[in-house]
Structure 1
Amino acid sequence: MSQTLTWGILGAGNIAGVFAKGVASSKTGKLLAVGSRTQEAADRFGDKWNVPRRYSSYSDLLADKDVQAVYISTPHPMHAEWAIKAAEAGKHILCEKPIALNHAEAMAIVEAAQRNDVFLMEAYMYRGHPQIAKLVELIREGAIGDVRVIQASFAFNAGYNLDSRLLKDTLGGGGILDVGGYCTSLARLVAGAATGKPFADPTKVTATGHIGEESHVDEYTVASLAFPGGIIAELLTGVRVNAENEIRVYGSEGSLTIPPPWNPRAGQTTKVIVKRNNGEVAEHSFETEDLYGLEADTVAEYLAERQSPTMSWEDTLGNMRTLDQWRAAIGLTYPFEHPQGPDQHLPVHKRPLKVRPQSIMKYGRIEGVEKPVSRLVMGVDNQVNWPHSSVMFDDFIEQGGNCFDSAYIYGGGLCEKILGQWIKSRGLREQVVILDKGAHTPHCNPQALASQFLQSLDRLQTDYVDIYMMHRDNTDIPVGEFITVLNEHKNAGRMRVFGASNWSIERLQEANDWAAAHGMSGFSAISNNFSLARMVDPVWAGCIAASDPKSRAWLEKTQMPIMPWSSQARGFFTGRAHPDDHSDAELVRCWYSEDNFKRLERVQQMAKERRVLPINIALAYVLNQPFPTFPLIGPRQLSETRTSLPALTVELTPEEVRWLNLED
């Protein structure tokens, strides 16, 4: 067995006592300390479980240098804050389920563990029981043929005490987060085993449920999940209804049952029962060890890997994403998931935002914009809910980013609204650079531009934007009409500078010549596509690239800053593209070509030599041009932000830039 681990427990509730008992029966664990919100509670817990060190705060426990690993057993809404702080304190982490309130918070926790090089696992203790390993083995060897239907239930009637955490929305109550995650994780595990993977994520989640009029949480609910391979799952959970609490898996050649699977006690015999369609019945019996002791031993066993296959980081993130979808299907959100909710002026770690000391962000200048502009710009075109948006934006600020790109049409206006809410809640208006766009086709005319721009300012909750860009061009309208209305808004202080997205170089030059001739300001920046991969077919109608030699020569001559979209060719360099893989029709249509695959080969060669990701080389190509570039990136997950940033450290010579672009 692996090394001995010295444990501390954050929280002194019932589940903390269960884990304390488990550590005592483990082969590797020693319980040294407990932290609670009061000294009295810590002492009471310490006396009961013979814990030598008792702290009246979680912070004091994390400051104990002798504590190597922590078990976080606080109420659900506190998991993210203290898991992140534990990671920053260098402690290995076993966090009680659910690891967070939602997928966004879970991402923040995983990133903190990765950044601080500590172990992290979500505490679904049933996963460590040998009956689950047997379940997976039977599914993989085809004991019941092809898996078709999974049924899992975990529900209990906790009564109707509205002061109980189970029925308080401010504590993340309800069945889905408390016990529904067991059913979801089991279904994903079985579907994965059936399709040759560690786990599988559903392609569709539908559900019905009862949300209490007074509790405002899901008191009971049923979900239906569709998985690849034609597999479907039916999940039942609740805190105000009793269920059989068992697993049934139906296949083409039989069925499999585990009654009850979730929390067998030490010494209890459990069974996995297989019934074949031909009448054969096989029972596999197991005597249960303390599941919490097994969890502690699992942490020790996989400490060097920093995560365990029992419940890997990606498994946890997929599970939280599915739970989010389940809650969304029945219309359940928590107060913490709204901009006006408790403590929503702070990130999940509950500290004011500041740039991390290890930030590698670089900055440039755009004439007319008083603030330095981060060389990477975060695209705000897909963030449509508060938890995800705020976590993504907070992280970008902490990574050193300060420029955000959005547009009037994104999300029907929701993206602008969320960005504005976040900036206001964090008090960052004078620290961030807002790049906003409007006048998209078919509303590309001076009147629509003015009307939309005023709406955008209202959505963004600001009286100016740092950079405004026309989203499209309309060649039926003389450039002077556009330049005139843009100058009116600039002179009124509503925009510091303005530019154009998806304008041809000829029209850009014509517009700036007209502006100069009439004593007006011209375009200060552009936002066309620019990437190492040639855009074979426009991603959207009306899109224009500036990657061709003529455009690059103009940009170098004029030193016009470009803030290019799809700077990483929408995933072409991430490993998704291969000449024989046509599964992504849009990727194929827009980027597949013989010359682009030659560029990909060179990117992969250089990435191997530089020991970075291919995507970093592709993005470095944009950053190392002989004219100012501020590429837009569109991360959907925190890991995508993290893996984009090393491009800032890749220096390319002019010869290397030309070689990557097949100009050698």
Structure 2
Amino acid sequence: MSHRLNWGILGTGNIANTFARGLANSQTGTLVAVGSRNHESANTFGERWGATHSYGSYEAVLADEQVQAVYIATPHPMHAEWAIKAAEAGKHILCEKPITLNHAQAMAVIEAAHRHNVFLMEAFMYRCHPQTERLRSLLQEGIIGQIRLVQATFSFNSGFNPEGRLYSNSMGGGGILDVGCYCVSMARLVAGIANGKDFEEPIEVTAVGQVGETNVDEYTSASLRFPGGVIAQLFTGIRVSGENIVRIFGSEGDITIPAPWLPTRGQTRLLLHKSDTTEEIIVDSDADLYGNEADTVAAYLEQRQAPAMSWADTLGNMQTLDRWRKAIGVVYEAERPEDKTLTVSQRPLSVTPNAPMKYGRLPGVEKPVSRLVMGVDNQTEWAHTSVMLDDYFERGGNCFDTAFIYGGGACERMLGQWVKNRGLREQVVLLGKGAHTPYCTPEWLVKQLEISLDRLQTDYLDIYMLHRDNPEIPVGEFMSVLNEQKQAGRMRAFGASNWSIERVQEANRWAEERGLQGFVAVSNNFSLARMVNPVWNGCIAASDPASRAWLTETGMALMPWSSQARGFFTGRAKPEDHSDEELVRSWYSDDNFQRLERVNQLAARRGVLPINIALAYVLCQPFPTFPLIGPRALSETRTSFQALSVDLSPEELCWLNLED
């Protein structure tokens, strides 16, 4: 059932006028408010389109209680900020494409919509039109056989204007984001149909292009390769006119869409070529293109997202656009870390009130340590790093795990830049690691520590850990140099990663006999799933009964990696599915699948996700644990944090681990 919706529009540019015209022809929408940074512009727009209220700010539209949904028509770089603020204001959101500048910002917008339970859709109006639905149906019926090639173009010659939005790097200019996003969305849609899905992600993205003097893409072509043998050829630009059509080739014919992006009201046509014949397929639609888009929002309001452009579809589209830009070297000013002190919502970073995090203590570390530790092992670019770490900090997280070898140093540099930009050094706990094999010696420990401190832009680490052990070196040599570095102020405490319990005991005895500091924490693997084979050479687990008994007896803190067994409890692991060789090699065993079954049973009873139970197993041990998590997406961070609210009894711990 469709809802009647009162709309507000943020922005008064060309696309805002186009949407307002469509809204006037919709079945469900009424324009009640418009906002602009210029009150005069808002008044002119409001008078033209009959808005009840015209405001000289976007905030005023969001504060208007009559407004139920907003259309965000600002320039690209402002989309994320105002979409997040609209979600916080409880407004349903239709955001002009591209939804944000990049995939990372899109994650932040979607998380805001999820958190505040509002509708959100990226405004690809052609996806809502009957022509696209007819195309989907024809392809699903196999009208051209097996789909093999998609050709899509959307390009125009705007004339070079270095001062204009389209040519401005700071405004997210260039063809890829402005209109190339349409081509990508069509290719992914068609490839999805070919593979029996709603959409499909490319395996490979290659591209060539002309990047002009203003550092935006002026024209560019991309080649995409998808699963199932589907390939796509895409062309977009702002400085050359294109044919602006779509052709789809299959094993038994091809379809041409003469007006894929702006299908007109009334009749549109698809051209089907088979053998030597051409057939016109007429699609009738009385709906206004943009009015129909507004009606789509109303129709799917309760579901909070529409199948025409779901959240997952938007994220995949943005990720492909990122890859296209990367292939030709286009980076926006907003994606560079220099002087970026604010979050995506353009506000200072702070912990959200009533954040769910729990904290513990480590000897020698004065700050409380968050029970979930953010692994910084994959953040090598500012856009992704800042969004992921901001979100973790807002949720109450304050401990970050990194290492000298991660990303060839890029991960340490990104973490250090983030801490500096946000001004957080005394509010966060930095856990660094070094002296990884084959450089596991006291000499290399000192060399790498100095480099790490420089990368991290700090003069000390809260916790330092040896990343590996070297049994050929007596423990005393390691303990001596660690104590020297601690006394020099370069670390507050230290521990060991992937050291055997026996070597840790030996090292701490040696230190105690000489009145020196010993290890305060161990970072070995620990999870409900037994590590069948080491994930990497030199990895050591502490999940066995003897290690658990020692940890319980001594109260030694454990900061375990792969605490969720690298996705074993996410639904990826099935006895018959051997597609992920590493998952199979490290975690597949009869006893682990028995544990998985029990996790699923308890999760169903508790009404939580299986991974919440698996992570709660680590958190609820009788010794202090600070599990490391390695989310690649904000949704993974969110679902990991849900484990903090799951309490497991000693009996449940034993039952899950097959010890009943």
Normalising TM by the smaller chain, what interval? over 0.9
- Give the structure 1 partner of residue 289 of structure 2: 291
- Give the structure 1 partner of residue 153 of structure 2: 153
- Give the structure 1 partner of residue 102 of structure 2: 102
**Mapped pair 1:195 → 2:195:** yes
- Give the structure 2 partner of residue 21 of structure 1: 21
Partners in 2 of 1:325 and 1:46 — Cα distance?
39
- Give the structure 2 partner of residue 364 of structure 1: 360
3-state DSSP class of the match of 2:418? helix
Aligned partner (choices 405, 411, 423) of residue 407 of structure 2:
411
Q: How does 1:109-124 map to 2 (within 5 A)?
A: 109-124=109-124
Partners in 2 of 1:288 and 1:629 — Cα distance?
62
* TM superposition outliers: structure 1 runs of 4+ over 6 Å: none
3-state DSSP class of the match of 1:275? strand
Q: How does 1:337-416 map to 2 (within 5 A)?
A: 337-340=335-338, 344-416=340-412
Q: How far off is 1:319 after superposition?
A: 0.1
Code of the residue aligned with 2:422 in structure 1: it is R
**Mapped pair 1:421 → 2:437:** no
- Give the structure 2 partner of residue 519 of structure 1: 515
Code of the residue aligned with 2:246 in structure 1: it is I
3-state DSSP class of the match of 2:538? coil
3-state DSSP class of the match of 2:469? coil
- Give the structure 1 partner of residue 39 of structure 2: 39
Residue deviations 1:526-556 (CA, integer Å, cap 9, x gap):
1000000000000000000000011011101
Code of the residue aligned with 1:172 in structure 2: it is G
Code of the residue aligned with 1:529 in structure 2: it is N
3-state DSSP class of the match of 1:135? helix
Aligned partner (choices 609, 614, 617) of residue 618 of structure 1:
614
Residue deviations 1:414-471 (CA, integer Å, cap 9, x gap):
0000000000000000000000000000000000000000000000000000000000
Question: Which piece of structure 1 moves more, 567-576 or 355-364?
Answer: 355-364
Partners in 1 of 2:263 and 2:254 — Cα distance?
22
- Give the structure 2 partner of residue 208 of structure 1: 208
Aligned partner (choices 475, 500, 509) of residue 504 of structure 1:
500
Aligned partner (choices 530, 535, 538) of residue 531 of structure 2:
535
Code of the residue aligned with 1:230 in structure 2: it is G
- Give the structure 2 partner of residue 261 of structure 1: 260
Question: Which piece of structure 1 moves more, 50-59 or 591-600?
Answer: 50-59
- Give the structure 2 partner of residue 591 of structure 1: 587
For the 8 Å contact 1:166–1:174, the answer to whether it is kept is yes
Gaps of 5+ in 1: none
Partners in 1 of 2:97 and 2:278 — Cα distance?
37
Residue deviations 1:57-114 (CA, integer Å, cap 9, x gap):
1111101111000000000000000000000000000000000000000000000000
- Give the structure 2 partner of residue 321 of structure 1: 319
Q: How does 1:625-636 map to 2 (within 5 A)?
A: 625-636=621-632
Partners in 2 of 1:52 and 1:304 — Cα distance?
26
Code of the residue aligned with 1:455 in structure 2: it is I
Residue deviations 1:506-538 (CA, integer Å, cap 9, x gap):
000000000001111000101000000000000
Code of the residue aligned with 1:146 in structure 2: it is Q
Q: How far off is 1:278 after superposition?
A: 5.5
Gaps of 5+ in 2: none
For the 8 Å contact 2:271–2:278, the answer to whether it is kept is no
Residue deviations 1:159-210 (CA, integer Å, cap 9, x gap):
0111211111110000000000000000000111111100001010000000
For the 8 Å contact 1:275–1:282, the answer to whether it is kept is no
- Give the structure 2 partner of residue 309 of structure 1: 307
For the 8 Å contact 2:72–2:96, the answer to whether it is kept is yes
- Give the structure 2 partner of residue 224 of structure 1: 223
- Give the structure 2 partner of residue 7 of structure 1: 7
Q: How far off is 1:284 after superposition?
A: 2.7
For the 8 Å contact 2:130–2:283, the answer to whether it is kept is no
Aligned partner (choices 636, 640, 643) of residue 639 of structure 2:
643
- Give the structure 1 partner of residue 559 of structure 2: 563
Residue deviations 1:374-418 (CA, integer Å, cap 9, x gap):
000000001111000100000000011000000000000000000
For the 8 Å contact 1:87–1:93, the answer to whether it is kept is yes
Between the two proteins, what is the percent identity of the paired residues? 67
Q: How far off is 1:340 after superposition?
A: 1.0
Partners in 2 of 1:656 and 1:402 — Cα distance?
29
- Give the structure 2 partner of residue 142 of structure 1: 142
Q: How does 1:227-266 map to 2 (within 5 A)?
A: 227-266=226-265
Partners in 1 of 2:141 and 2:282 — Cα distance?
15
- Give the structure 1 partner of residue 603 of structure 2: 607
Code of the residue aligned with 1:585 in structure 2: it is E
Partners in 1 of 2:599 and 2:263 — Cα distance?
53
Code of the residue aligned with 1:217 in structure 2: it is V
For the 8 Å contact 2:269–2:280, the answer to whether it is kept is no
Partners in 2 of 1:421 and 1:122 — Cα distance?
31
Q: How far off is 1:265 after superposition?
A: 3.6
Q: Normalising by the residue count of structure 2, what TM-score does the alignment of the two structures yield? A: 0.99
Partners in 2 of 1:303 and 1:330 — Cα distance?
38
Code of the residue aligned with 1:599 in structure 2: it is R
Q: How far off is 1:286 after superposition?
A: 3.1
3-state DSSP class of the match of 1:539? coil
Q: Normalising by the residue count of structure 1, what TM-score does the alignment of the two structures yield? A: 0.99
For the 8 Å contact 1:129–1:288, the answer to whether it is kept is no
Code of the residue aligned with 2:381 in structure 1: it is N
- Give the structure 2 partner of residue 336 of structure 1: 334
For the 8 Å contact 1:525–1:561, the answer to whether it is kept is yes
For the 8 Å contact 1:377–1:405, the answer to whether it is kept is yes
3-state DSSP class of the match of 1:171? coil
Code of the residue aligned with 1:597 in structure 2: it is F
For the 8 Å contact 1:408–1:456, the answer to whether it is kept is yes
Q: Report how many residues are paired.
A: 660
3-state DSSP class of the match of 2:612? helix
Code of the residue aligned with 1:2 in structure 2: it is S
- Give the structure 2 partner of residue 454 of structure 1: 450
Partners in 1 of 2:278 and 2:389 — Cα distance?
57
For the 8 Å contact 2:134–2:283, the answer to whether it is kept is no
Instruction: Please report the RMSD computed on the Cα atoms of aligned residues, expressed in angstroms.
Output: 0.9
For the 8 Å contact 1:169–1:216, the answer to whether it is kept is yes
Question: Which piece of structure 1 moves more, 512-521 or 356-365?
Answer: 356-365
3-state DSSP class of the match of 1:242? coil
**Mapped pair 1:576 → 2:575:** no
Residue deviations 1:601-654 (CA, integer Å, cap 9, x gap):
000000000000000000000000000000000000000000011111111111
Residue deviations 1:254-303 (CA, integer Å, cap 9, x gap):
00000021113434x32111111263634234346311100110000000
Code of the residue aligned with 2:615 in structure 1: it is L
Partners in 1 of 2:524 and 2:130 — Cα distance?
56
Residue deviations 1:475-496 (CA, integer Å, cap 9, x gap):
0000000000000010011100
3-state DSSP class of the match of 2:205? strand
3-state DSSP class of the match of 1:662? coil
For the 8 Å contact 1:244–1:260, the answer to whether it is kept is no
Question: Which piece of structure 1 moves more, 584-593 or 270-279?
Answer: 270-279
Partners in 1 of 2:558 and 2:336 — Cα distance?
35
**Mapped pair 1:475 → 2:471:** yes
Code of the residue aligned with 1:330 in structure 2: it is I
Partners in 2 of 1:477 and 1:352 — Cα distance?
47
3-state DSSP class of the match of 1:651? coil
For the 8 Å contact 1:445–1:474, the answer to whether it is kept is yes
Code of the residue aligned with 2:153 in structure 1: it is S
